[in-house]
Structure 1
Amino acid sequence: MTRSAQTLRSCLLAAVLLLPGGCYYAHVARGQASLLVHRQPIDHVLADPATDAAIADRLKLALQARRFASDALGLPRNGSYTRYVDLHRPYVVWNVFATPAYSIKAVNHCFPIAGCVAYRGYFSQVQATREADRLRAQGNDVSVGGVPAYSTLGWFDDPVLSSMLRWDDDELAGEVFHELAHQRVYVAGDTAFNESYATFVQRQGLDDWRHARGLGPVDPRGDRMEAAFTHLVIDFRQSLADIYAGGGDTAALAEKKRAAFADFRERYARWRDADFAGDKRYDAWVAGDLNNASLLPFGLYEQWVPAFTALFAQVHGNWSAFHARVAALARKPKQARQAELEALATSTCATPCG
């Protein structure tokens, strides 16, 4: 299953980390401090004869992508992704999502600068599990997802993490582009804008990266399947919202909810076999312990990608002009920003053109 479908990336800011008091803030501060302490310059890791050859190859690729991001894509030129941390665990952060039992609206968490987000991130899986248990005890639906990478939005020089090295070349390079895009433009409290912008930069940047390396374009089948699956889940999420809006006693709602999830699994199997026969990348997720909270991340990464595609075409693929236009959008009030994004998304260049 793709990373964007599994979980929502975290954005943990220095302003949050340095807030006094509070067990959660103290936990996040310790986790971020640990990363800072254990960072090593990648050049030093590569010069160490004890470094595993496979790890060295991945780190060399990360540095190449890092340079390309600034030289060719107009992304920040700083110390991010020039250092390495071996986490000795599969993920850097675990995100905890929650919704009421009969609602698809997230239990939001609000922070300075970052704004409100639909999750809380924990550097410890044990603490994430404790938070999940606490939220379940309140009657919420809860989902926990591991996060291989996150951004501090330029407050610190984010390192390459060992959790990122298990990806293939395209995923690793694309992740560097994605996280650096967050450092270039970020709007507090507008996750769909932030993630759609970074996702466009990741995808278009990866196309440019592959072209510069003499490679063919990315196979579009994976993106097509991910987009189609995302729409399938979003449609299901809306059908759940309609069920919950209809009201009823708890027993009746519980039965309708159970039946809806069963129907979704059947519709998924029919869709997969009809359109993507033999591709089972989403089977394990669909067969798992799904609930309202499991559905929260879907759509946040793709909602405005057509709008940014059109914007990129309008500036004829000029990255500097593109980022400037995005920054101008970011400065607008949310209602005006969304109106312009909607207009862009329905324009003639909402799919690659020009």
Structure 2
Amino acid sequence: MALLIVIVGGVWGSVGCSTVGYYAQSVRGHIGVMTVARPVPDVLADPATADDLRQRLLLAQRIRAFAVTDLALPDNASYHRYSDLKRRAAVWNVAAAPPDALTLKRWCFAVLGCVGYRGYYDEADARALAAQLQQGEGLEVRVYGVPAYSTLGWLNWVGGDPLLSTFIHYPEGELARMIFHELAHQVVYVDDDTMFNESYATAVERLGVRHWLTTQADDAARQGYARLDQRRQAFRALTRQTRDALHIVYARKADAGMDANRGAQAMLAAKAEVMARFRHDYAALKAQWAAAGAPYDGYDAWVAAANNAAFGVQAAYDALVPGFEALFAREGGDWPRFHAAVRTLAQQPHDERQAQLKSLAARAKAAPAVSQLWSLFK
């Protein structure tokens, strides 16, 4: 499940970062989302509201309140309204990377800075850009729908970010993850550092949902989430392993003992071998799930289309998460202190904050007492 910030804030910036047409679709798209938003109490009171939607909205309001009281997330206008978008995704993001690196192409915008994707409210527009990048620039591309995005709290004065039909029917734990993740973007956002922003929000969602399930959910919700998350973590571990292998392949592409042509051919051969091993290991993982009585093919499409852009996007969401989790443990599981520590970290230069997070993660991995993070919730 991808959770990225759509470029809406940039539309008020100076023209020159992108085309006027792109800004226009961003404005129209977000206005469309907000136009159909209704206050949750009104939807609940409407006799035409289906009972399953009514129950999900009530649950979402409980989760929203918990985010404020227990996770120190913002108490504002966001997630008190509901929008039925009548489509499968809120926006479609385009990511791109060269054939010999996992470094995402970046787009820069006024106010927001630079990010490693570009968002569209129309899937056809996203795919048109992807084709242009692939054919015109020779990049590997990924187009993916995302169920939610954040306006970083800047539009709370006009109603904030609404709950959306694209995620309201998620299982309880997943719904909580979504809301916690998006609210985290309103706490800390660093220009030009997608990995920092997304890893922080992912850490908040993981830590937050653990606390929610421990204190608020029933056994069925806890067990359901545990099954889903075990599968997700196994798949993410496989993608991390593959990213590490690809990094090694690309680092060796300029072997001094080969001419450029031979080096490129060797790199492509090694890359193909890594990708073949990835798909083989994924098939083995699926077989394990099936043998355990829980067959699942939800990652099949991702694996079939996996490329540098897909792995680059994945890295943005999990590369720095262990460091943030270690920071949370260092702060004694105190949410206000944790958020304050992240704000302080965000003021450091890019390389310094990355180094600090990696150091925290390494120390936590080496210290059994620190690694027992979940004891903080007991």
How many residues align? The count is: 348
Q: How does 1:151-190 map to 2 (within 5 A)?
A: 151-156=150-155, 157-190=160-193
CA distance in 2, matches of 1:332, 1:272: 42
Q: Which has the higher helix share?
A: 2
Counterpart of 2:237 in structure 1 is 228
CA distance in 2, matches of 1:260, 1:319: 40
- With over 3 angstroms needed to count, the CA separation of the structure-2 counterparts of 1:252 and 1:29, relative to structure 1, is same
Deviations 1:136-182 (A, max 9, x none): 22122111000000111101210101101231111111110110011
Query: Secondary structure in 1 aligned to 2:79?
Result: coil
- With over 3 angstroms needed to count, the CA separation of the structure-2 counterparts of 1:200 and 1:253, relative to structure 1, is closer
Counterpart of 2:353 in structure 1 is 337
Deviates more, 1:152-161 or 1:214-223: 214-223
Is the contact made by 1:8 and 1:297 (CA closer than 8 Å) also made in structure 2? no
Counterpart of 2:139 in structure 1 is 140
1:289 CA displacement: 2.8
- With over 3 angstroms needed to count, the CA separation of the structure-2 counterparts of 1:244 and 1:89, relative to structure 1, is farther
CA distance in 2, matches of 1:314, 1:150: 30
Aligned: 1:67 with 2:65? yes
1:41 CA displacement: 0.5
Deviations 1:21-71 (A, max 9, x none): 521111111111211222111111111000111111111111111111111
TM-score (norm 2): 0.83
CA distance in 1, matches of 2:339, 2:212: 18
Q: How does 1:23-172 map to 2 (within 5 A)?
A: 23-138=21-136, 139-156=138-155, 157-172=160-175
Deviates more, 1:344-353 or 1:310-319: 344-353
Deviations 1:237-284 (A, max 9, x none): 324424644552677665554444333322333455579855544651
1:114 CA displacement: 2.3
CA distance in 2, matches of 1:200, 1:255: 36
Query: Secondary structure in 2 aligned to 1:150?
Result: coil
Counterpart of 1:316 in structure 2 is 332
- With over 3 angstroms needed to count, the CA separation of the structure-2 counterparts of 1:334 and 1:230, relative to structure 1, is same
Give the counterpart letter for 1:261 in structure 2: M
TM-score (norm 1): 0.89
CA distance in 2, matches of 1:9, 1:339: 24
Deviates more, 1:203-212 or 1:88-97: 203-212
Gaps of 5+ in 1: none
Deviates more, 1:328-337 or 1:254-263: 254-263
Give the counterpart letter for 1:178 in structure 2: H
CA distance in 2, matches of 1:296, 1:47: 44
Aligned: 1:261 with 2:283? no
Match of 1:326 among 310, 329, 342: 342
Counterpart of 1:9 in structure 2 is 4
C-alpha RMSD of matched pairs (Å): 2.5
CA distance in 2, matches of 1:96, 1:233: 22
CA distance in 2, matches of 1:151, 1:240: 35
Is the contact made by 2:198 and 2:316 (CA closer than 8 Å) also made in structure 1? yes
Aligned: 1:194 with 2:209? no
- With over 3 angstroms needed to count, the CA separation of the structure-2 counterparts of 1:332 and 1:104, relative to structure 1, is closer
Deviates more, 1:218-227 or 1:168-177: 218-227
Is the contact made by 1:85 and 1:159 (CA closer than 8 Å) also made in structure 2? yes
Query: Secondary structure in 2 aligned to 1:145?
Result: strand
1:101 CA displacement: 3.2
CA distance in 2, matches of 1:235, 1:275: 24
Query: Secondary structure in 2 aligned to 1:113?
Result: coil
